[in-house]
Structure 1
Amino acid sequence: MNKHVLFVCKSCAFSSSQREYLGESGGYHLLQNLLDLQAEWNLRSQYRIEAVSCLSGCSRPCAIAFSAANKTTLMFGDLPPLESAPAILQLAEQYYASPDGIVPYQERPEVLKKGILAKIPPLPNSD
């Protein structure tokens, strides 16, 4: 199966009213929490967690995106950086298992039900 990527915006604010927490951005805290959990995660060899400088979800921090070849890319925001990592990895597992990258609303973890920012279709196959 193709390698999957979880993009994490490292520059996202901690919240809509607070840029930093303990001197670091919300994106930094979310990324660190994900990396800590990744060490024991059963899909750690199938996913690359990639820090990016910006996902342009600035009004909806924290922002992440799931992507893989031949799958719809899913982008989410409104993720509390200190609490969201377990739910993000749960959705990553659902995304991995989905043949097209679509994870139905009702099956997503609660924190990822309302924060969808984009569904980007896969590139068309060139014939």
Structure 2
Amino acid sequence: MTKHTLFVCKSCAFSSTQRDYMGQRGGYHLLTHLLRLQPQWTLASEYAIQSVECLSACNRPCVVAYAASHKTTLMFGDLPPLQSATAILQLAEQYHASSDGLVLRQERPDILKKGILARIPPLPDC
């Protein structure tokens, strides 16, 4: 089965009004929470949690993207860094189970029902 990747922007602000929290960006806090949960997560071996410098959604707090070969890439923003990690991993499980990467809005965890920034189609087979 294809390995999946959860990209986490480590440069994101903590909130729309606060750049840092306890001396660190919001993206750092979100990444730290995700990495803390990863060892106990049932899909830990199926996912790479990859930090990135920037996902170019700088006017929004915390941004993540779900990606895998032959699937639509989904990018979400406006995620509160201290409250989102569990929901992000829940959506990762739904994304993993989806054949095309699409997860219906009403089926997503509440915190991820809004804030979708992009649906990028998979690369065509060449």
Q: TM-score, normalised by structure 2?
A: 0.99
Match of 1:121 in 2: 121
State the alpha-carbon separation in 2 of the partners of residues 66 and 20 from structure 1: 25
SS at match of 1:86: helix
Match of 1:27 in 2: 27
Q: What fraction of aligned residue pairs are identical, expressed as a percent?
A: 69
Coordinate RMSD, CA, aligned: 0.4
Q: TM-score, normalised by structure 1?
A: 0.98
State the alpha-carbon separation in 2 of the partners of residues 57 and 48 from structure 1: 21
Match of 2:49 in 1: 49
Measured against aligned partners, the alpha-carbon deviations of 1:55-75 in whole angstroms (never above 9, x if no partner) come to: 011111100000000000000
1:37 aligns with 2:28: no
Match of 1:13 in 2: 13
Amino acid at match of 1:90: Q
Match of 1:105 in 2: 105
- Unmatched 5+ residue regions in structure 1? none
1:85 aligns with 2:85: yes
SS at match of 2:34: helix
Aligned pair count reads 126
Runs (4 or more) in structure 1 with deviation over 2 Å come to none
SS at match of 1:39: helix
Measured against aligned partners, the alpha-carbon deviations of 1:3-35 in whole angstroms (never above 9, x if no partner) come to: 000000000000010000000000000000000
Measured against aligned partners, the alpha-carbon deviations of 1:71-103 in whole angstroms (never above 9, x if no partner) come to: 000000000000000000000000000000000
State the alpha-carbon separation in 1 of the partners of residues 65 and 95 from structure 2: 11
State the alpha-carbon separation in 2 of the partners of residues 111 and 45 from structure 1: 25
